[in-house]
Structure 1
């Protein structure tokens, strides 16, 4: 089993069998549908479970809260998207491509994008765990794009740029597409 396959079988709370992974997939797909219909404020684990055709208790076996579920959706999208960094010899072009791709993961789904911002600010332990995994993955991608001599201060500045942009988009200061453009401009200021 490849690393990517094992990641798809690992939920935040435990390792999953194939059948359990199918249940989690049903729940994450149903959550996107419920979000589109009800918004984050109206979304509940009970509604998601019903839409997925599973019991509420079963849904809570995998997800401790709606924030946890939405954070899991973002984590799965991040991992499924992979790294868009090209073989471009310019590390600046590679970093900009990485940050733009991450910012655009949920850009076309207004309710989901707002929910991701809210969810990632959650305090429950499962959300904190996912936030750490997401942050680690983004850091890894930035470092890979910058190259082997990546300056830690630049990496941290780019991480802050991304996190701040995510919050800004979630607050409604612009669409995710507009925020992605702003990330690009700001990253260029940091990198030049």
Structure 2
């Protein structure tokens, strides 16, 4: 297998675009090559099989959707209050909106995982670990709420993100910044 990291990233980004636009049935090595603008057959040099491709796409979507460490460090200079938790959730929505195809590709991977046991196992472990890291980060930062509160916020934000990025007409009548503020305030107790 080829080891050109820049080419691999370009192919994975092309795969994300194809997956988001056409779904898993449209995700072929030929479609990836065409999207990336490389000669036909290039992708076959980078992915051992479909399972390998899907796993690598999963990891690449997370690379793309993860907050910039410097920007996050700057945000985290604020006091650990509801205002900070609200800002973090607003930034989360902003990142997903900025890379809508990355988020939609992850949704497609979730659907594909219902049909592919090997991807289900990989994605379940990946997302479970990610949720655990989010809980740990939230608690270590001293933000309001306990582990259960963070889990509730996670699931509530998943629903908001799903509707906002797939059927935005559902969320358009509402000020999402206000919704997020109310969500954080209601789900994360002060602890006083």
Partner residue in 1 for 2:162: 167
1:55-70 matches, cutoff 5 A: 55-61=42-48, 64=51, 68-70=55-57
The alpha-carbon distance between structure 1 residues 165 and 99, as it changes in their structure 2 partners (threshold 3 A), is same
CA positional deviation for 1:151: 1.7
Matched residue count: 173
How far apart are the structure 2 equivalents of 1:62 and 1:132? 25
SS of corresponding position for 1:89: coil
How far apart are the structure 1 equivalents of 2:148 and 2:47? 40
Q: How well do the aligned residues superpose, as a CA RMSD in angstroms?
A: 3.7
The alpha-carbon distance between structure 1 residues 129 and 73, as it changes in their structure 2 partners (threshold 3 A), is same
SS of corresponding position for 1:106: helix
- In the alignment, does 2:23 pair up with 1:40? yes
Partner residue in 2 for 1:108: 98
Residue among 81, 87, 98 paired with 1:91: 81
- In the alignment, does 2:133 pair up with 1:137? yes
The alpha-carbon distance between structure 1 residues 67 and 163, as it changes in their structure 2 partners (threshold 3 A), is farther
User: Which of structures 1 and 2 has the bigger CA Rg?
Assistant: 2
SS of corresponding position for 1:146: coil
CA positional deviation for 1:80: 5.2
- In the alignment, does 2:26 pair up with 1:26? no
CA positional deviation for 1:116: 2.5
Residue among 162, 170, 191 paired with 2:188: 191
CA positional deviation for 1:186: 0.9
SS of corresponding position for 2:79: coil
TM-score for the superposition, normalised by structure 1: 0.65
8 Å CA contact 1:100–1:180 kept in 2: the answer is yes
Residue among 151, 155, 166 paired with 1:156: 151
CA positional deviation for 1:170: 5.0
SS of corresponding position for 2:125: helix
CA positional deviation for 1:61: 2.6
